[in-house]
Amino acid sequence: MSDKQVFFSSLSTNTITVGPALTVSSDVPDLHYFRGSFGAKDVLPLYRDRAALYPNLHPELLPKLSAVFGKVVTPEDWAAYLYAIVAHSAFTAKFANELATRTVKVPITNDVALFYKAVEIGRSLLHLHTFGERYFLNQTRLGGLAKCITSIQGDEPVTSFVYDEATSILRVGTGEFQPVTREIWNFEVSGMKVLSSWIANRMAIRPGKKSSVLDEIGPSSWTATMTTELLQLIWTLERTLAYAPKQAELLDAVISSHLFLASDFTGVPPEWTKAPNGLRDQDELPLDEVR
């Protein structure tokens, strides 16, 4: 799989309530992001093929943007713009009525400077949310305010965790992490609290319904790697929340700008884009390239 490929989840089969209206992964999701079951039918790959030659976009979109802006707009540029505009709670709040129909409609600015301002923010967020796996940027190593102030004893399984809002301390087993703000602890995507869900899935005995004996299997101990990954997640949420006001301001600016209209496009994708691999017959790749 190409290192250009990313997978977006639009949550389109569920009503979007709180948090971003779009999430991203550098890996192929095999299950619904937020239910942990069913197929990953909400997933939208940026490219239709393994080699990342055929973008999963309406064929008119990039040529139209490129013509108006006077420079080539790449699939990665569009993905970054889309992510900057849609992947934050201000978008979800502003368009709550529209999102109740389970359809995400994206305002596209005609202002080239504003478009590329969104691209810059979106690139940084996509780099952040794929933990550096995509959109390789010359950024400093991920870090943040939160520290592990008391180590987790790794010789015993971790069976509990609790958050103390008064002291901003997150306790995981015998370990303590501080500061973890209330906003970080409560950060959610359409009902799923990210931080508590991540920790719960690493408990020796995982909560929730069990559909298989495999669900009874949990880590026998807490490792140093798990502590590092937990800190990286907290730092990622710190930066995500820091970007949120910029995204909200950007969204307002885009909405107030001159926008592309639906009538600027035909609105009907060609039939060949609906093929299983989204390729024209004459452009078919070898079978091993599209699996």
Q: Looking at the domain assignment, is residue 110 inside a domain?
A: yes
Q: Do residues 123 and 56 both lie within one domain?
A: yes
Q: Do residues 75 and 135 both lie within one domain?
A: yes
pLDDT at 227: 95
Q: Do residues 227 and 283 both lie within one domain?
A: no
Q: Which one has a higher pLDDT value, 44 or 168? A: 168
Q: Is the pLDDT of residue 41 over 70?
A: no
1-15, 21-35, 219-233 — most confident range? 219-233
Q: Do residues 255 and 188 both lie within one domain?
A: no
Q: Is the pLDDT of residue 46 over 50?
A: yes
Q: List, as one string, the DSSP characters of the chain.
A: --TT--EEE--TTS---SS-S-EEESS---S-TTTS-S--TTEEESBSSTTS-SBSS-TTHHHHHHHHHTSPPPHHHHHHHHHHHHSSHHHHHHTHHHHTTT------BS-HHHHHHHHHHHHHHHHHHTTTSSS----PPP--S-EEEEPPPTTS----EEEETTTTEEEETTEEEE---HHHHH-EETTEEHHHHHHHTTSSS--S--SSGGGG---SS--HHHHHHHHHHHHHHHHHHHHHHHHHHHHHHHHHS-B--GGGS-----GGGGSTT---GGGPPPHHHH-
Q: Do residues 113 and 162 both lie within one domain?
A: no
Q: Do residues 207 and 280 both lie within one domain?
A: no
Q: Do residues 182 and 278 both lie within one domain?
A: no
Q: Which one has a higher pLDDT value, 91 or 277? A: 91
Q: Looking at the domain assignment, is residue 1 inside a domain?
A: no
Q: Looking at the domain assignment, is residue 2 inside a domain?
A: no
For range 70-78, the mean pLDDT: 96
Q: Do residues 229 and 210 both lie within one domain?
A: yes
Q: Which one has a higher pLDDT value, 190 or 11? A: 190
Q: Do residues 78 and 207 both lie within one domain?
A: no
pLDDT at 254: 98
Q: Do residues 238 and 254 both lie within one domain?
A: no
Q: Do residues 185 and 155 both lie within one domain?
A: yes
Provide the domain limits for residue 126: 7-141+244-290
What's the pTM? 0.85
Q: What pLDDT digit, counting tens, does each position of 209-251 carry?
A: 666 777 667 788 899 999 999 999 999 999 999 999 999 999 9
Q: Is the pLDDT of residue 27 over 60?
A: yes
Q: Do residues 259 and 131 both lie within one domain?
A: yes
- Overall domain count for the chain: 2
Q: Is the pLDDT of residue 3 over 90?
A: no
